[in-house]
Amino acid sequence: MVELMNPLIPFVIGLLMLLLPQRWAFDHLLLHERRAARWRQGAVTLGLVAAVLLLCFAGGYWLAGPVFGIVVLAGVLTGELLVPGPASSVRSATLTTRRVRDYLPRHRALQAVLLASLTVLLTPMTIFAASHPAGRDGYGRISCGDSVIQLPPELGVPAITVIILTVIGSAVVCLPVLRKIVNRPPVTPGPESEALDTAMREASAGAVFYAWSCLLASTLFTTAMVAHAMFDGWGDGCTNWWRTSMHVTAYLAMATGGSVFVYLLAKLIKQHSSRRVTA
């Protein structure tokens, strides 16, 4: 249904980025950062391998994006939740007002673009799938011109529901972790370490931010890829306006998801605070 090389490109680029030697150089990081970075790198590697296997052998084109995103997000959240408290038994209390948004990267517009693109893609697809329920074989039937087109299960209401629940559920899980990152005690207490502590919180919050954004981008890419392949396969015999508009929408969503996914993955892989601040 889908040419194999097209969906593989972003995930293969991700694997190649992991092969760069400097991505694995953790010696300059603090202990807890090193631990979180290894969880992050391991999750990215496992997620990319799982996505490639789904695309190559299982035929799970629409599942590859959500599975990658869930694996990466789970690894990033686990690494951040395992950050230990201060090693010193003596603590000093300081009154500091911290907000989650103060520690997030300045790429929040990308999340808005991804969410808007996913909404624009999934809303008509949901209406479309609901109006053409699947038969006993799992395929819906659509009449267009002189032909009858099959709507694959990957674009049916159950699959779309899974995608929507994955996006919403992952966002709900990320919020308490972000609050924990912002409100946790400084790992390196002391006024002289304030800049480093701020940088570490920014790196941790950024890792969660980029992991969830990667989930959005990979889900958008694989969902749009399947939709584009279906509409593209209808041929010239079906020229309804909605088919043309959905074809164009799916193509734009696929291009947006794939390109933004590679960019966000690169940001996630190199998300270390010690590269910016020297203690």
**Mean model confidence pLDDT for the chain:** 75
Question: What are 88-118's pLDDT values in tens digits?
Answer: 554 555 556 667 777 777 777 777 888 888 8
Question: What are 206-257's pLDDT values in tens digits?
Answer: 889 899 989 999 988 888 888 877 777 665 566 666 667 777 888 888 888 8
pLDDT score recorded for residue 173: 92
pLDDT score recorded for residue 4: 42
List residues bridging with 147 in a β-sheet.
144
pLDDT score recorded for residue 85: 59
The residue behind tokens 């370490």 is 193
CB 217 within 8 A of CB 115: no
Q: How far apart are CA 47 and CA 11, in angstroms?
A: 9
Regions in the chain scoring below 70 on pLDDT: 1-6, 21-32, 58-60, 84-98, 128-155, 187-193, 233-243, 272-279
Return the C-alpha torsion angle 248, 252, 253, 255, nearest 10: 140
pLDDT score recorded for residue 137: 57
Model confidence, pTM:
0.81
pLDDT score recorded for residue 278: 44
pLDDT score recorded for residue 153: 67
Return the C-alpha torsion angle 39, 43, 49, 55, nearest 10: 180
pLDDT score recorded for residue 24: 41
Residue 140, φ and ψ in degrees, nearest 5: -85, 160
